[in-house]
Structure 1
Amino acid sequence: MPRIEVAKRFDWDTFVRRYWNKRPVLYKGTSASPFEVADVFDAAAGATRSYLKQSYSTDSRSNLQFTIDREQQLFLKPWLPHESDGSLESYEARILGRLGSRKYALIIASLYSSGFSLWSKERAFFSELWRRVGVPLSGAITTLFHGNYEHSPVGVHLDRFTTFLFALKGRKRMRFWPKKPWSEPVSTILDYAPYLKESFVAEVEPGDILYWPSSYYHVGESAGEEVATSVNVGIPRTEHHTVYYVDDLLRGTIDEPSLSEQEWRNTRLATVSASPLARGVLTRRGPLSPELPRALLEAVDAFRDVSRRRETLRHIQVTWLKRLTAGGFEPVPPPARRGRLADEDRICVDPRFPILFEQVDARHWICSGNGHALLGAGSAKAVARLFEMLNSGHEVRVGELLRPFRSRAERARGAGSVKVSTRDDMRAVLERLQGFRALTRLGRGSLL
């Protein structure tokens, strides 16, 4: 029977050479994990806030699940972590107080999208892996598992993701099978007792990092009565075709990619109004009508409208820059409230994660930071120099950055057909980037 390989020192070069997409490994007691309990609670409470703003219709999608003794709960509000809980420990105490001896599981997908601190640390950690194996085009997934459940609600299963498990609280057991242990034509099983002999286990404790490739069947189990908390990061490896990305490109052609459902309804691709039921296409004698139904004609026209070469190329540039600065974790957390920047303010950018800049054409340019993007109009030469200064990592005064740009009055008196960005335009860009947290305001006064 195979056994889990155990290591104590986490090193990306060794990991990629020995374990990446090859076999599981358990790193015991390492301090390498990017996840902290406080950040996890902050992100979980943020996910609850987002959930409570959503529709309660039965067909609405949610990143949150809560089970009690394996039964999925339809009304989640009473069971979710709220900001008023104050901490993950207090949330746990509240839930245990209500459930008594019953078991529960809280699962939150896309955890990073609700907490900037968690997202930024996770991006920094995995950026070292991306440098060695490549950035996942569709992004990795991050899921919180919290509770005292007996085993994973879905049972034994196979993912299309190669997975890292970061243990934060309590003890947890992961059970693995190198090959599918059953012969029935089903993808998952809940009762896997007959197949225990072919399995091997890894028991994780706080501080441990467990990795397994996507080829291993697995199930998470309780390692006692205590509540356990872990964060799983999955990186797509199998059954994830490049064609899936086309939807991303089309949905955001009018506005920005990764649109919410509400934003999607406002795009031209969503304005096809013809009924999906095509009347009159079959005659009494059986032959099909040679004319395409109205719904298909409208869809083709809408697609042709949004796929004009100039719009498409510009949108693809925006999409790619956002994906790069998201660092493999999308959707990114929402921007913070936009603040004012005075000439005396000192700002800087983390050189590990620069603001990306690209010229679209003679009249337009794009900049992107932390998974957000801005499209600007005007000559790009001075703008490129501004981002070059920012991305150096050195502190710089806002007034110094804006000195090369004209005031609006000066631009109004200028000649030429190419629009030039003004100081006010670029100050607004810097303020937006501060809201994206792509640059940091350090204070006011002269530089040291």
Structure 2
Amino acid sequence: MLYLTLTAISTTLPGMKTMLDKKFWRNFSRNIWEKKALVLRNVKSGLLEITDAEVFDLLVLYADRCRKLNDPTGFKFFIDGFKAEEEDVLQVLPEKQDKSLLGYHARMKALFPDYCLVCDELLQVNHKKQHLLTEFTDELYRHVGFPNRFSEMGLYLGNYRKTPFGVHVDSCGVFSFPVAGVKRFRLWEPQYVKKNPSLDRAFKYEKHKKASELLEARPGDMTYWPSSAWHIAESDGSFSATWSLGVWVDQPHKEMISDSLKGLLAQKSGAAGNKVATQFKKLHSDSGEVSELPKAYLQTIELLQRLSVEELQETFLKSWMQHISSQGFKTVPSAPVEISAKSKIRLRSKNSLILWQHSLTSKGVVYFSFGGVTVAGKKSGGLFKLVRDLNHGNPCMVSQYFTRSRSDLRALQTLADAGALSIEKDKGLNRQ
């Protein structure tokens, strides 16, 4: 069955908005998610606040950071389908003087007849609009489940006629939001590509077009396709800019369990776990049978048998808390904030709480997590009360909770470095 029959297209009347309400998400999770593609016209969502002007500002902000570090990581630039060298990318990034995406396009078009700029790290600088993403993903995750890997925000812009790396498949479901121009995506089902492997990375596929479906979207629209869909973007050479949210679905639960246990086993095995050779009595019998475990393996069995339910539960709980503390994103926007006892602080976003949990194995210990980072404190310490007050939306003077506790201050600074906090100014709610 082709995407021609699988693609759902909204049929809202002119002037009407497509609501992303609970009814929509219930239907999406049951009938669309990881099953078929979708085109929604004239969507009503806070995500539409991320306009072409907002995207341009994010691009310049991240480009300025890359220029300052002399490192273009997160950007890729293609000229006539060929990837530019890293040292050349810094020379073609958006600048404030471009004034807009169209201004940047005019500068690039004068240099290159066919170009494509890709940015995979806009989340790093998306402070002001991050809450719009979390509002969208919170509803998505509530209905389809929290991703075992992450979601990331990406951007494609230019006048390129085809995606520079040809027909391809990702391991993520993709929500795409055009902010300038018309965006077209051509999709194939995985079964078809399996029968026609020449499509992989292809740029010429005229004979395969009948087996594909073409999605077309404009600013205000939204498209979605599942992680199994092979696809390529097409254009007539006109300028377009589209940002997307990719939800990666390529990490099974068994890998989450394995990763969670690594730290516990490393801690329990101690120095023996660092040995790089295993002592043995006899490798195998004369017939080749292997029936005897080395001593190191027997000791590991004893170690596993001694693990308590509380130890396992705490290990998984800490791992789960750290995982969800990034709210399902690859990166969390952060800005450097220096914390001292004299600082008056608050959460950077009321929708991004500092998560915490009681230790199940160490009495009086509390763990705190934000942005994929976890620190420890004491239930009797000031940090515990400070975090709870911050999570209730209160601005807090650090000195009212602790002044001499270096460990609490270090832990608080670690959470600030992860992007949890901002400094409260004396007047209003201005933040760093």
TM-based fold match above 0.5: yes
- Which residue identity lines up with residue 161 of structure 1 in the other structure? C
| C-alpha deviation, 1:176, in angstroms | 2.8
Paired position in structure 2 for 1:441: 423
Counting only pairs closer than 5 Å after superposition, residues 339-354 of structure 1 correspond to structure 2 as 339-340=339-340, 342=342, 345=344, 347-348=346-347, 350-354=349-353
Please give the TM-score of this superposition, normalised by the length of structure 1: 0.70
Please give the TM-score of this superposition, normalised by the length of structure 2: 0.72
Paired position in structure 1 for 2:375: 374
| C-alpha deviation, 1:393, in angstroms | 1.6
Of the candidates 84, 92, 95, which is equivalent to residue 105 of structure 2?
Answer: 92
| C-alpha deviation, 1:330, in angstroms | 1.8
Paired position in structure 1 for 2:209: 196
| C-alpha deviation, 1:292, in angstroms | 11
Counting only pairs closer than 5 Å after superposition, residues 86-235 of structure 1 correspond to structure 2 as 89=101, 90-99=103-112, 101=113, 103-113=114-124, 115-117=126-128, 119=130, 121-178=132-189, 180-182=191-193, 183-186=195-198, 188=200, 189-222=202-235, 224-235=236-247
Paired position in structure 2 for 1:37: 55
Deviation by residue 1:320-344 (Cα, 9 ceiling, x = unmatched): 323212111023345524243526x
Of the candidates 18, 24, 32, which is equivalent to residue 27 of structure 2?
Answer: 18
| C-alpha deviation, 1:130, in angstroms | 1.8
Paired position in structure 2 for 1:77: 87
- Which residue identity lines up with residue 390 of structure 1 in the other structure? L
- The 3 A distance-change label for structure 1 pair 40 and 315 is farther
Work out whether residues 433 and 439 of structure 1, in 8 Å CA contact, stay in contact via their aligned partners in 2: yes
| C-alpha deviation, 1:156, in angstroms | 2.9
- The 3 A distance-change label for structure 1 pair 364 and 358 is same
Paired position in structure 2 for 1:415: none
* More moved, 37-46 vs 125-134: 37-46
Counting only pairs closer than 5 Å after superposition, residues 301-340 of structure 1 correspond to structure 2 as 316-333=316-333, 336-340=336-340
In 2, the alpha carbon distance for the partners of 1:187 and 1:141 equals 26
- Structure 2: give runs of 5+ residues left out of the alignment: 278-282
Deviation by residue 1:250-299 (Cα, 9 ceiling, x = unmatched): 787799xxxxxxxxxxxx9998878xxxxxx9xxx998999999xxx99x
- The 3 A distance-change label for structure 1 pair 85 and 352 is closer
In 2, the alpha carbon distance for the partners of 1:270 and 1:356 equals 31
| C-alpha deviation, 1:120, in angstroms | 5.0
- The 3 A distance-change label for structure 1 pair 44 and 389 is closer
SS at 1:444 equivalent = coil
Paired position in structure 2 for 1:278: none
Work out whether residues 323 and 371 of structure 1, in 8 Å CA contact, stay in contact via their aligned partners in 2: yes
Work out whether residues 350 and 393 of structure 1, in 8 Å CA contact, stay in contact via their aligned partners in 2: no
Pick the structure with more helix per residue.
2
Of the candidates 32, 36, 42, which is equivalent to residue 28 of structure 1?
Answer: 42
In 1, the alpha carbon distance for the partners of 2:272 and 2:126 equals 31
Paired position in structure 1 for 2:79: 68
SS at 2:18 equivalent = coil
Paired position in structure 1 for 2:280: none
Work out whether residues 347 and 398 of structure 1, in 8 Å CA contact, stay in contact via their aligned partners in 2: no
- The 3 A distance-change label for structure 1 pair 445 and 119 is closer
Report whether the alignment pairs 1:5 with 2:6.
no
- The 3 A distance-change label for structure 1 pair 254 and 288 is closer
| C-alpha deviation, 1:379, in angstroms | 3.8
| C-alpha deviation, 1:41, in angstroms | 0.5
In 1, the alpha carbon distance for the partners of 2:381 and 2:145 equals 31
SS at 1:40 equivalent = helix
Report whether the alignment pairs 1:389 with 2:393.
no
- Which residue identity lines up with residue 125 of structure 1 in the other structure? F
Between the aligned residues of both structures, percent identity stands at 24
Deviation by residue 1:3-33 (Cα, 9 ceiling, x = unmatched): 6513532314233233332441223264532
Work out whether residues 43 and 115 of structure 1, in 8 Å CA contact, stay in contact via their aligned partners in 2: no
- The 3 A distance-change label for structure 1 pair 110 and 135 is farther
> How many residues of Structure 1 are paired with residues of Structure 2 in the alignment?
393
In 1, the alpha carbon distance for the partners of 2:120 and 2:137 equals 18
In 2, the alpha carbon distance for the partners of 1:395 and 1:178 equals 52
| C-alpha deviation, 1:83, in angstroms | 7.0
In 2, the alpha carbon distance for the partners of 1:341 and 1:86 equals 41
Cα RMSD between the aligned structures? Answer: 4.5
